[in-house]
Copies of this chain bind each other. A is one copy, B any other.
Amino acid sequence: MDSVFFMDEEARARFLRSLAQSACCTYVCLWYYYPPPSNYLIFMDGLYNDQSDLQPRSSFGCLDRKFFDCYRQCVYSIDKGYVPGLAFKEGLPYLELKELELLNRVSTVTQRQFYQEARIKVRLTLIHIHQHVYIPPFIYSGSHILWTSAAFMGCRSGEIEIGYKGPTEHNLEMEMKRWFPDDFYLQSQHKELPPAPKQNRPSSSSSSLKSLSMCSSPSTEYSSLLFNIPSTSNMPISLREASVEQPTKHKQQYHGLYQAPYPNPESDDAAMTRAILAVISSPSTSSSSYQTQQNPPHQNQVSHRTSAFKSYNPVLASKFQTKATSLHRQSMLKQAISFLHNMRLKKLQEQMQGTPRNSISTQLTHMISERKRREKLNESFQALKSLLPPGSKKDKASVLSSTRNYLQTLKAEISELKQKNQLMESRWFSSANKEAEKEVSGSSSTCSSTARVEIQLIQAAESTSDGQGIDLKVSVKGDCKMLDLVIRILEFLRKVDMEFLSVEADTQLQQTTTLNQVIIRLNNKGSEWDELAFREAIARIVADVTR
């Protein structure tokens, strides 16, 4: 198990219970920690729409750029509808939004808006750093980490890290499900807990941080911003109403729990202060210089204190410095996203089941069913695409049209093959018959009946779509003007409304007599056909010729 869990399981389970009981997992964060100076992990609080503090502080100007380039947060705030996407590529910050399109896209929050907000957030965080920066031991003690990442899930009453890292094939979904047993979905907002309005701050994505020490000295200057609920004025009505439904009453419920198991905040604060000072005093480098290693000076200062976090194991991390990380990150992202997607659907279904008879629930039903429908359609498209010859383009219209062409090609090929097959079959039979007759004729008299002339009309078994195949087989024993016979028959056929397919005629020597055989394949194109008259006519011709 390569996952690294930052909290001990007991603390995790407590948070988990709080999440399950409050039944409103409202957001999930995916953090990406970039190589040095990412040894410093900075927690950032939610997203803020208030743009009043947009101006960059000159004193943090250099840091701003640096941190903004180095740290990215991929936040999926479920019921707020934020769907930003940021990732790294080739070791450099890069936008990878493809995977995030799978998520719910709330049109009122655009990508650009998110970047704005992210920038604001980063700035606020950087301002916040003075007071709140935290260097978690697992990062702090691991000076050789190049890549690590973690996922958070949280609600208004608490947050939990679903931590994972590195290029493992570990199934995030399973992990999350392990932490969120099935009854998580079933315990909807039915449980009412006693309200405790004393601590009024709403949800925050750094509860684990706060639970350790971060509530010690909040800057009053920014706390109003930092703890603001993000404005929902731009959100669609249904979501807005849905989010209003979230219980916001039992924050205090777990307050003691937050504080209890963790050490003295002051020592952490001092450590953090030193840490951020070290970061600030480090030269402002360009993004390319981030590749250079930096050994933070506080390495052993905090790593041994008691904590809910397990200490980081650098051995596990050192083997993850390979190049193929971006792929694994992607798959991690995908896993996380699909899981979250499903989770959100389930949550919506739960919500809908809980309140079955109002307009917003029908809206929700409609939305998720429409989503499912789209999903199904896209799956079908994918499946279809996989069946096509590989060189084709991938957009839907192309898939459809090339499918059409491909179908036609296949059909043509099939008909060709069938025809070829038929031909071969007839040849095969005729040649086989020849031999068979040669062989059989001696012993058996079934075929070589006493009759001199034999006329067979065989309806071919495989009748193609455009007609019924008919084999006319004329056998004449003894001498016979073969050429005349064939010509006469063919001339007769010219007058008949049937398609001429093939003729075979030859003369074989059987023991005593010669056997003249004419096999003609015709295609009766659906028109009525008097078989008796046809046979009689042939018989007359044969009689005429052999007379």
Contacts and interface: CB of A to CB of B under 8 A. Distances in A.
Contact of A407 (B387, B420, B432): B387
Interface stretch (A242-250, A346-354, A411-419): A411-419
A503 interface: yes
Contacts of A508: 419-420, 423
Contacts of A425: 424
A427 interface: yes
Contacts of A503: 486, 503-506
Contacts of A53: none
B423 A397 contact: no
A428 B424 contact: yes
A493 interface: yes
A405 to B, nearest CB: 10
Interface in A385-407: 387, 396-397, 400-401, 403-404, 406-407
A416 B509 contact: yes
Contacts of A484: 494
Interface string A1-38: 00000000000000000000000000000000000000
Contacts of A414: 410, 413-414, 417
A338 interface: no
Interface stretch (A195-203, A267-275, A288-296, A376-384): A376-384
A421 B419 contact: no
Given A414-B410, A428-B427, A501 B506 contact: yes
Given A421-B421, A504-B504, A508-B423, A387 B408 contact: yes
B506 A505 contact: no
Interface residues of A, number: 56
Nearest to A490: B487
Count of identical protomers in the assembly: 2
A227 interface: no
A483 interface: yes
Interface string A474-493: 00000000111011001101
A502 interface: yes
* Most-contacted residue by chain B among A482, A501, A502, A508 (CB, 10 A): A502
A503 B420 CA distance: 19
A476 to B, nearest CB: 14
A487 B401 CA distance: 46
A406 B414 CA distance: 13
A500 interface: yes
A537 B276 CA distance: 78
Contact of A403 (B384, B417, B420): B384
Interface in A409-467: 410-411, 413-421, 423-425, 427-428, 431-432, 435
11 contacts: A380-B404, A381-B400, A414-B417, A431-B435, A482-B500, A484-B494, A487-B490, A502-B504, A502-B506, A503-B505, A506-B521
Interface of A: 373, 376-377, 380-381, 383-384, 387, 396-397, 400-401, 403-404, 406-408, 410-411, 413-421, 423-425, 427-428, 431-432, 435, 482-484, 486-487, 490-491, 493-494, 500-509, 521
The 9 tightest CB contacts between A and B, nearest first, are A502-B506, A380-B400, A417-B417, A424-B424, A483-B500, A410-B410, A503-B505, A504-B504, A487-B490
